Structure 1
């Protein structure tokens, strides 16, 4: 290790490390980068003397007026940090190990870059205070059961039907003074929104496509959300940007076709480049239409008049072909949380008290493995067969248990 690297402060290396680990142009995107940045910031705060308890003064010598540097790092530091994480009673066992792993990965990178002489974070004495793996298996993770899948899809289907029927009724009342133009616009907006929610839930429930492949991820510019140009209902497929960093087609089974087709007719997107699942956030849409109309040369008072002519900014965006951004993955989680509550669906799970998006994918994986085996399921889930066998090992274990029971009945007459 050079003298220069010896005196380098820890946070000077964070940006370069995160760019190396990030995705997209300049390494600016990706969930790993976001999560790693958060944990490295926490590690730096702790190393500087913050968040370590009343008696904790950080890793620099008491008389040093500087930021924590590589000269201060050794395996004892990482041992203390492991103890600090493990002492946070609000963190689960595996969460502690995950947070430590982000810092450990940075430590390994620092060794390769010449900032550290050894991978101190991976030494046995450094990792000793970490809790054991809590033993959770993939089969313990949330998967929508058949009853939950039917309950949530039935709920959103009823909501959409009611909203569409109300819009259809008002649309025919052109001569009734009780219902003005804005009333019909509000009904159309409600119908579009309910139909969008239904389409999204059906896609999550029946396609096993990852939510990050359908919607926008603010931390990854390549994941801008699927557009109508990516959807082919005639062939029953949608093109998505897969986890393996390439575009690929995913199947759209029959239950998804009607919700998507009805929703498209209601939305009537002005171009194929519109997102299939646009955001309905009022503030985002208001800012978008105002800025876009201003860019087109409209004066502020004219923009206000245009907005006043529509009950919602989304309808103005449709009329002017002002393309909104896609809903985000976090937005989908918030939506499913509300829908789960509205449908009064019981969810007994230690991590999620609602039907989380990934639970739809895992639930469909359960169906496919039980019906067609691991090979077919792996192709549909866009995973290796080895990974699918690992994640759904509880199914095979149950089947082997049945085999053992049958064997005992045949041999021992039990």
Structure 2
């Protein structure tokens, strides 16, 4: 085997020396520092090299580094046999499901293919049939991506948040004129929070927008969360940064317009650049207000006096135009867990005991496919028709089953 690759890199190069450049190529944002794929790939590459170096405690694998060599695994030790053993290692992990094994191996395989293109390896060993033989068959499902809100669940949740928002707004707007200012601020804050929760639930339930397109992703600086400047309530549209890495307009159906308009009126954001679904986390807002006012030249004692005038830092932020961040995708899950429990919604799902954000998108997909077919659903979901047919194949299977039943009934009636 030629120890010098076509690009001049030697096969004695450590595996880890390739990781950072690979992750930059696969990452998102300036410098390739962000993105969920980069984070997940980095985790799996770390596990792979630990396994290869026998650093995974309790494993039977003895590693690919010779016992008499002090160093990290290098490319000259890699061949299809190594990837076959790693596939066997993943498949033998009793804690991993079939689709998880496939997913983890794909991260390593993608890196292997990149290494071939970059001249670290002479062949894509990870994709050879012998290397992949120990892998379990892929059942076609993605972990955690199967929940779909039913019509009953969607109606129960939207009805609950609507009632909560109406009550909180009525409480705030009907306060007597002589009420204590801090009590009025507390009522305002509770109304804002309930209105935000309602708007978030309605958008997730009816727009089928991916939660990662709607909210802030800490690992991708381009996904800073939808702002008011991105929304046109008159046109019924919302600009989002799509999964395909470009801005695009998403539809806002009628049920979403009123909750968003009510929330905007109540919030009265200082600028259009404010996030629609801003965080209400007190620690985050306290730090933000203190730092921003200090940067503006305010003394610490003056800042604390100002904060004492407000029941919540959010209200001070509104008055001083201290723009808070959007909630994160993880934050949306916490909100939906709280709301699902409070609404006492009946949920029967092996992974989620609450209505997860992606379930709103899948539930809307079910409605669209059944009502208008795969082509219309694909356009609304911003997916290919092929992908939608694959994801919602159970609908077509059910329809074909009904056709078969009718055919059998017709034949049997002639007998």
- Please indicate the TM-score interval, normalised by the length of the shorter structure: over 0.9
Name 2:278's counterpart in structure 1: 278
Name 1:218's counterpart in structure 2: 218
C-alpha spacing 1:135/1:322, structure 2 compared with 1 (3 Å): closer
Name 2:97's counterpart in structure 1: 92
Q: Distance in 2 between matches of 1:72 and 1:337?
A: 48
Name 1:134's counterpart in structure 2: 139
Name 1:122's counterpart in structure 2: 127
If the length of structure 1 is used for normalisation, what is the TM-score?
Answer: 0.94
Name 2:311's counterpart in structure 1: 311
Contact 1:209 1:250 in 2 (8 A): yes
Alignment of 1:327-406 (within 5 A): 327-406=327-406
C-alpha spacing 1:52/1:413, structure 2 compared with 1 (3 Å): farther
1:13 Cα shift?
0.6
1:135 Cα shift?
5.5
Q: Deviations over 1:259-301 (max 9, x none)?
A: 1111111111011110000111222211111111111011111
SS of the residue 1:141 aligns to: coil
Q: Distance in 2 between matches of 1:202 and 1:392?
A: 22
Q: Which of 170, 173, 176 in structure 2 is aligned with 1:173?
A: 176
Alignment of 1:178-197 (within 5 A): 180-197=180-197
Consecutive unaligned residues in structure 2, runs of 5 or more? none
1:410 Cα shift?
2.5
Contact 1:52 1:84 in 2 (8 A): no
Alignment of 1:157-168 (within 5 A): 157-168=162-173
Mean Cα displacement is larger for which, 377-386 or 193-202? 377-386
Contact 1:78 1:120 in 2 (8 A): yes
Contact 1:50 1:57 in 2 (8 A): no
Q: Distance in 2 between matches of 1:267 and 1:351?
A: 35
SS of the residue 2:355 aligns to: coil
Q: Distance in 2 between matches of 1:113 and 1:194?
A: 53
1:192 Cα shift?
0.5
1:197 Cα shift?
0.7
1:409 Cα shift?
2.3
Alignment of 1:25-44 (within 5 A): 25-44=30-49
Contact 2:12 2:76 in 1 (8 A): yes
SS of the residue 1:238 aligns to: strand
Q: Distance in 1 between matches of 2:81 and 2:370?
A: 49
Contact 2:53 2:72 in 1 (8 A): yes
* Aligned CA-pair RMSD: 1.9
Q: Distance in 1 between matches of 2:285 and 2:119?
A: 48
Q: Distance in 2 between matches of 1:216 and 1:189?
A: 22
Contact 2:99 2:142 in 1 (8 A): no
1:72 Cα shift?
2.1
C-alpha spacing 1:137/1:227, structure 2 compared with 1 (3 Å): closer
1:188 Cα shift?
1.0
C-alpha spacing 1:52/1:358, structure 2 compared with 1 (3 Å): same
C-alpha spacing 1:80/1:285, structure 2 compared with 1 (3 Å): same
1:339 Cα shift?
1.4
Number of aligned residue pairs: give it: 409
Q: Distance in 2 between matches of 1:386 and 1:350?
A: 27
1:79 Cα shift?
2.1
Contact 1:50 1:56 in 2 (8 A): no
Q: Distance in 1 between matches of 2:404 and 2:136?
A: 35
Name 2:238's counterpart in structure 1: 238
Q: Deviations over 1:82-117 (max 9, x none)?
A: 222222222111001101110111011111111112
If the length of structure 2 is used for normalisation, what is the TM-score?
Answer: 0.94
Mean Cα displacement is larger for which, 400-409 or 214-223? 400-409
Q: Distance in 2 between matches of 1:386 and 1:257?
A: 31
